[in-house]
Amino acid sequence: MPKNSAAQPPKVRLPFEVWALVAGGFTVALGYGVVAPAIPQFALEFDVSTFAASAIVSAFALMRLVGAPLAGWIVGKFGERATYTTGLLIVAASTGAAAFAMNYPQFLILRGLGGLGSAMFTIAATALLVEASPPQGRARVASVNAAGFLLGGLLGPVLGGIVAGFGIRAPFIFYFFTLVAAAIVVTIALRSKHALPQSAPGSKTGGDEMQLREALRLPTYRSLLLSQFAFGWTSFGVRVSLIPIFVAVVFSGDAPTAAWVLAAYAAGNALFIFPSGRWSDSIGRTPLLITGFVLMGAAFLAFPFSGALWVAMAIMVVAGVGSALANPGHQAVLADVLGARRGGMVVSTYSMSSDLGGVLGPLIAGAIVDFAGFGWAFGLTAALLAAAAMGWIVTSKQTAALGRP
């Protein structure tokens, strides 16, 4: 049958290096899930305001954003492997030191340094996964990687409750050791000269470096940046900031109630994150991206009109499914754009787009809620998702051409 060739991509064996990177990502996500709830609580130990405690989280995100161009330059200068390990160790050192912070300014500075290290290893990890991905299994690699982070993020808070029983500083010590473990695992796995194409400057096996201006001339890459911004705005911004507030205001729900609504999103994501990668490799990138963004847009548009808690949870399941369908396609398209070439700034700009959406989403949407209500805030979010879907429709032919091995 003619569909046999389309069925081949899912059967491609993923290299050992991919599984090593996924294991490293899972370990990082697990540790972060343990420490995240303790960060604002630890800040309050210094007798500061709620705003100051929240600023600790913002400082990390802000340093990730502003540090991304530097991280991209470091990748281009010293290579992905060295940047990955160094970034992890910076986060480990800053987190371990934060456990012994004596005052609020120390804690703030150390978390900011952690954000810079996070930008370094995130961008390097993305570049390494792109290098290790077989051309016919790029979306599958992205889905497996996303699933590792998802599983670590789900198990982390559960384990965090146990670790926090040993004291408010204990989660930071735990995260320190998980980061060191991740650095060791990935460094050992990638130490072979044949593990991945050498990406040191001047190396021929890793391909020449794609410049950012060259990537920006590609319609597909521009659509990718818009798509990443909309995804970051929605999934990493509005979802975690506005939905808990909506649950509290509309349904008079407490924090556990909001957590159940967010868990519904995670459930929808978990159901489709593995098959979506296979479908993206076999069917194509744009059908999955378009479908995913349309589902997410419809869900966020309908969410403020949910009249009951169970309806809100059902809508979040749909949004999670849409997220799972769209998410693997992003990294796969990035790999298609780069091909066999390196691109530190291309990858860092890709990462920055998502971080920028995650930073601006809660601020702008939150201000809209204050002035015009939840409907307009979620409506703007849905409009951004629709714009991303439209971008993939417009560039579907170019994206399909890039994705052909």
- Mean pLDDT computed over 378-404: 90
Q: Which residues pair with 342 in a beta bridge?
A: 209
**342: three-class secondary structure by DSSP:** strand
> Are 225 and 179 part of one and the same domain?
no
2 located within any domain: no
Residues 323, 293: Cα–Cα separation, whole Å: 7
Answer for the pair 156, 105: CB distance below 8 angstroms, yes or no.
no
Residue 198: Cβ-neighbour burial (10 angstroms; 0-12, 13-18, 19+): middle
6 located within any domain: no
Instruction: Count CB-CB contacts under 10 A for residue 172.
Output: 26
Q: Which amino acid is at 35?
A: V
> Are 188 and 219 part of one and the same domain?
no
Report the share of the chain in percent with pLDDT over 90. 30
Residues 31, 159: Cα–Cα separation, whole Å: 9
4 located within any domain: no
> Are 146 and 229 part of one and the same domain?
no
> Are 288 and 353 part of one and the same domain?
yes
> Are 195 and 220 part of one and the same domain?
no
- Mean pLDDT computed over 183-204: 60
376 located within any domain: yes
> Are 309 and 186 part of one and the same domain?
no
> Are 251 and 185 part of one and the same domain?
no
Domain extent, residue 308, equals 214-403
Confidence of residue 201 (pLDDT cuts 50, 70, 90): very low
8 located within any domain: no
> Are 361 and 241 part of one and the same domain?
yes
Radius of gyration, CA atoms only, the chain: 21
Answer for the pair 350, 334: CB distance below 8 angstroms, yes or no.
yes
Instruction: Count CB-CB contacts under 10 A for residue 280.
Output: 31
321 located within any domain: yes
Where among 171, 203, 235 does a domain terminate? 203
> Are 122 and 179 part of one and the same domain?
yes
Q: What's the DSSP call for residue 10?
A: G
> Are 315 and 256 part of one and the same domain?
yes
Determine the straight-line distance between the first and last CA of the chain, rounded to whole angstroms: 20
What's the pLDDT tens digit per position in 51-88?
Answer: 677 677 777 878 888 888 888 888 888 888 889 999 99
> Are 363 and 230 part of one and the same domain?
yes
What's the pLDDT tens digit per position in 129-168?
Answer: 888 778 778 788 888 888 887 788 778 777 877 887 888 8
Q: Which residues pair with 209 in a beta bridge?
A: 342
Packing angle, helices 344-372 and 50-78, rounded to 10: 160
209 located within any domain: no
> Which structure tokens are listed for 377?
């805030």
What's the pLDDT tens digit per position in 207-248?
Answer: 578 888 999 999 999 999 999 999 989 987 788 778 888 888
Where among 145, 180, 203 does a domain terminate? 203
Read off φ and ψ for residue 209, nearest 5 degrees: -95, 130
Q: Which amino acid is at 135?
A: P
What total of structural domains would you count in the chain?
2
CATH classification of the domain holding 296: 1.20.1250.20
Residues 58, 129: Cα–Cα separation, whole Å: 27
Query: Is residue 317 over pLDDT 90?
Result: yes
Confidence of residue 11 (pLDDT cuts 50, 70, 90): low
Where among 172, 203, 234 does a domain terminate? 203
Answer for the pair 353, 218: CB distance below 8 angstroms, yes or no.
no
> Are 192 and 317 part of one and the same domain?
no
What's the pLDDT tens digit per position in 86-101?
Answer: 999 999 999 999 999 9
93 located within any domain: yes
Instruction: Count CB-CB contacts under 10 A for residue 299.
Output: 27
Query: Is residue 351 over pLDDT 50?
Result: yes
Answer for the pair 143, 328: CB distance below 8 angstroms, yes or no.
yes
